[in-house]
């Protein structure tokens, strides 16, 4: 993983429920820290500061939190965005033990030979559809990678594909996503066009199943099941859990 330390100072938050809207109007983001089964800690931070932290850490890089004089090593469990303005509205941090393994979602990236910026298939005017852009891994916090890579030079002809099993995995990291799950597949442009016609223009999006979870969400503002159920299964920000963190 990157050895860069990501630090964030947050303030104790006494405002809860619907009143957190006042915090957002004041350019503050409400957040919560779940701490190893202990009582959760309600906090808040300046919008620009916490957004910068989220962009740098994602949901896999440990964050050194300082809250009301106490320090926590934490990973961002979930982040909620207001869909229309794509504005961060709520963050859930999970405190972690530096010596215990944790699960995290790590982005996937293609790796090309020197001087190449695309796969052989794309250079031959074929289409490569992405089926997966992140995987769940398990490792101690210091071993969590910022990215996992696959060899995109293997994508040459129609039908070629790479799967989770093809990822280059650092020592000390275990991938929890199914090994046979496809990451990227090569198609003929005509086949994609025909599938698009049959699907009314949606085939590429459905085949790719990509979610830019680092930049946007379709969740309703204020939905954050993870704050109510700490330690639950990892969820993308785009899934509406049907509960309201403002009641916390």
Class of domain 6-96+216-242: mainly beta
How many CA atoms within 13 Å lie on the side-chain side of 143?
Answer: 17
Q: Where does CATH 2.170.120.20 sit in the chain?
A: 102-208
Q: How would you write 144-182 as a 3-class SS string?
A: CCCCEEEEHHHCCCCCCEEEHHHCECCCCCEECCCCCCE
- pTM of the predicted model as reported, rounded to 2 decimal places: 0.69
Q: Where does CATH 2.40.240.10 sit in the chain?
A: 6-96+216-242
**Distances, alpha carbon 125 to alpha carbons 4, 166, 187, in Å:** 39, 23, 10
CATH superfamily of 102-208: Ribosomal protein L25, C-terminal domain (2.170.120.20)
Write down the pLDDT at residue 81: 95
Write down the pLDDT at residue 3: 57
Tokens of 75: 């990973």
- Minimal CA–CA distance to 6: which of 175, 174, 146, 173? 146
Per-residue pLDDT of the chain (248 residues; tens, 9 = 90+): 455 789 999 999 998 888 899 999 999 999 999 988 789 999 999 999 999 999 999 999 999 999 988 999 999 999 999 999 899 999 999 999 999 999 999 999 999 998 899 999 999 999 999 999 999 999 999 999 999 999 999 999 999 999 999 999 999 999 999 999 999 999 998 877 777 776 665 554 444 332 233 333 333 333 333 333 333 333 334 334 334 444 44
């Amino acid at each position: 993983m990157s050895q860069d330390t990501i630090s964030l100072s947050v303030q104790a938050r006494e405002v809860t429920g619907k009143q957190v809207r006042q915090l957002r109007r004041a350019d503050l983001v409400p957040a919560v820290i779940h701490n190893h089964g202990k009582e959760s800690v309600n906090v808040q931070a300046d919008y620009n500061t916490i957004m910068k932290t989220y962009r740098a850490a994602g949901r896999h890089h440990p964050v050194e939190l300082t809250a009301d004089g106490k320090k926590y090593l934490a990973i961002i469990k979930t982040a909620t965005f207001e869909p229309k303005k794509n504005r961060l509205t709520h963050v859930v941090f999970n405190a972690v033990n530096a010596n215990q393994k944790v699960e995290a979602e790590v982005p996937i990236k293609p790796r090309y030979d020197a001087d190449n910026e695309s796969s052989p298939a794309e250079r031959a005017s074929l289409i490569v559809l992405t089926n997966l852009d992140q995987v769940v891994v398990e490792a101690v916090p210091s071993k969590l990678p910022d990215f996992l890579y696959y060899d995109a030079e293997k994508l040459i002809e129609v039908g070629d594909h790479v799967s989770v099993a093809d990822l280059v995995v650092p020592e000390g990291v275990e991938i929890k996503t199914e090994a046979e799950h496809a990451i990227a597949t090569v198609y003929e442009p005509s086949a994609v066009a025909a599938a698009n016609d049959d699907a009314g223009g949606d085939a590429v999006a459905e085949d790719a199943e990509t979610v830019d979870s680092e930049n946007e969400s379709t969740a309703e503002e204020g939905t954050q099941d993870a704050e109510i159920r700490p330690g639950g299964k990892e969820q993308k920000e785009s899934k509406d859990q049907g509960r309201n963190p403002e009641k916390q």
